[in-house]
Amino acid sequence: MKKPISMTRRDFVRLGAGTMAAGLAGKNVTILEPSILRASPPPAEVVRFGIIGTGTEGCDLLRASRRVLGIECVAAADVYDTRHETPKEILKKDIDTTREYRRLLDRKDIDAVIVATPDHWHRRLVVEAAQAGKDAYCEKPMSHTLEDGFAMVDAVQTNKRILQIGSQRVSSILYAKAKEIWDSGRLGEVDTIEAVWDRNTDSGAWVYPIPPDASEHTIDWNTWLGDAPKRPFDGRRYVSWRCYKDYGAGLPGDLFVHLISGIHYITGTNAPAIRAYSTGGIYHYKDGREFGDLQWTIFDYPKFQVVLRCNQNNKYEDQLFTFYGKKGTMFIRGEGAPAALGAGASLAFRAEPEFHTREDYSIGSWPEKQREEYIAEWNREHPRPAPGNYNVESGEEIYTVSAGYSDMVDHLTNFFQAVRTRKPVVENEVFGNNAAITGCHMSNYSYFNKNVAVWDAASKAIKSA
């Protein structure tokens, strides 16, 4: 029998995985290792790709791409001239850079594109890439509107292309372990899944500095606006586009969709939620933004409920998923705990006691004799195993990842392997569309309409309850 380690949920949350791995080494902490095959393919199978949008996430993806074998970035498109420099710095080589994304789609030697523009450009770029015969890795949330998502599904499937959406936790070894625990049935029936992602920084609240040279001269503002309403150049909208409905989707588009993708992956869900109810508001950032700095949504699924919360005003919980089952509880903790508490993502499983306990609360109103007879009878019918022979899993199993592990590297690796082998990816167009419909569009529909959003699969529409 495993020796129990006594830790409460709070202890688990407070301790970083690094701390736990060090403090509990040799007990029941397991450090997970990537299982993805990391071998260089022959030169003929090197995948050449271009990137459209070399802002914050585009640059992070390029940095991660340097750790993926058998791929080569040959071109980058961005409507902001200064963002033609960073990709070359990251890749430490000269590549073709342009304001015109079409130039990448027209190149015959490019197999795939990464789309890392703001959300309002995802549809056009993925559809045109598919029509040009390119596979695409498109950042989350897949769609800016419901219609965008279905148009993207159609284009990808009609042109037989691979599309992977960029919620990288779907390729994380930690989430694969969580899925293994879920699939094993060890949690028992789960009726509630909670996930929070809390922040309290300028980065977390999208209060980004405007680059000193950003202007209509250095940025093709008209193209950046795309199909959004025309307006004069606005550096605040350019950098903090997540705050505005024309380009982004607030906390649901930024974070809920990540949480929902993780939950859909672990639970094997590939359909929108049945209904959603949101609430929240703008409590601190009264800077003209159109989305809340706090949002909650409760989603009903056929077999469980999902409760999500994101806020930008206190980061105590950071990133935490909790799966509450009849037989056990599973926690997944994010990477962003304060450094002093140890860094790194981690997962824990704690079993509920397997034997069921005597109901002692309501019998407080029974007369003593009646109570004692009931207790004696119950104990006769429920003999306890001898001490030390309990058939229960005790203590907490803890899993973590080694320092330097990157789920983004694994997610990119999965995408480029699919481009090479034509085998499907998990986070494909249908998965990405369902996650965006749920995490983004149903959540915001309810938030802005102040009523319950119901998914109507027949008409592919969100309706009010």
Ligand X SMILES: NC(=O)c1ccc[n+]([C@@H]2O[C@H](COP(=O)([O-])OP(=O)(O)OC[C@H]3O[C@@H](n4cnc5c(N)ncnc54)[C@H](O)[C@@H]3O)[C@@H](O)[C@H]2O)c1
Which residues lie near ligand X (CB under 6 A)? 52-58, 77-80, 83, 101, 116-119, 121, 139-140, 166, 168, 223-224, 241
Residues in the chain: 465
Cβ proximity to ligand X, 11 vs 85, nearer residue:
85
Residue with smaller CB distance to ligand X, 55 or 280:
55
Give the type of residue at 252.
P
User: From the CB of 114, what's the least distance to ligand X, in Å?
Assistant: 10
Minimum CB separation from ligand X for residue 254, in Å?
6
Alpha helices in 213-359 (DSSP H): 221-225, 235-239, 250-251, 257-267
For residues 36 and 91, what is the distance between their CA atoms, to the nearest angstrom?
A: 23
Q: How far is the CB of 78 from ligand X (least distance, A)?
A: 4
To ligand X, the closest distance from the beta carbon of 116 in angstroms equals 5
As measured in angstroms, the least distance from the Cβ of 29 to ligand X is: 26
Q: Which residue is nearest to ligand X (CB)?
A: 55
Calpha distance 345→269 (Å, rounded): 23
Distance CA 102, CA 218 (A): 19
Residue whose CB is less far from ligand X, 120 or 177? 120
Q: Would you report the helix, strand and coil content of the chain in percent, each value rounded to 5?
A: 35, 20, 40
For ligand X, give the closer residue by CB, 54 or 164: 54
Quick one: 223 or 449, whose CB is closer to ligand X? 223
| Residue 305 beta carbon to ligand X: minimum distance, rounded to whole angstroms | 25
Radius of gyration of the chain from its Cα atoms, rounded to whole angstroms:
25
Contact assessment for residue 285 and residue 207, using Cβ atoms and an 8 Å cutoff: yes
Q: Which is nearer to ligand X, 218 or 402 (CB)?
A: 218
Pairing verdict, β 275-281 and 453-456? antiparallel
Nearer residue to ligand X within complex by CB, 79 or 320 = 79
- Both tokens of 115, joined, read 């789309």
- 351 beta partners: 328
Which has the closest alpha carbon to 112: 47, 55, 181, 21? Answer: 47
Closest CA to 150 of 454, 432, 449, 443: 432
State in angstroms the smallest separation of the CB of 118 from ligand X. Answer: 6
Report which of 160, 189, 69 is spatially closest to residue 428, judged by C-alpha positions.
160
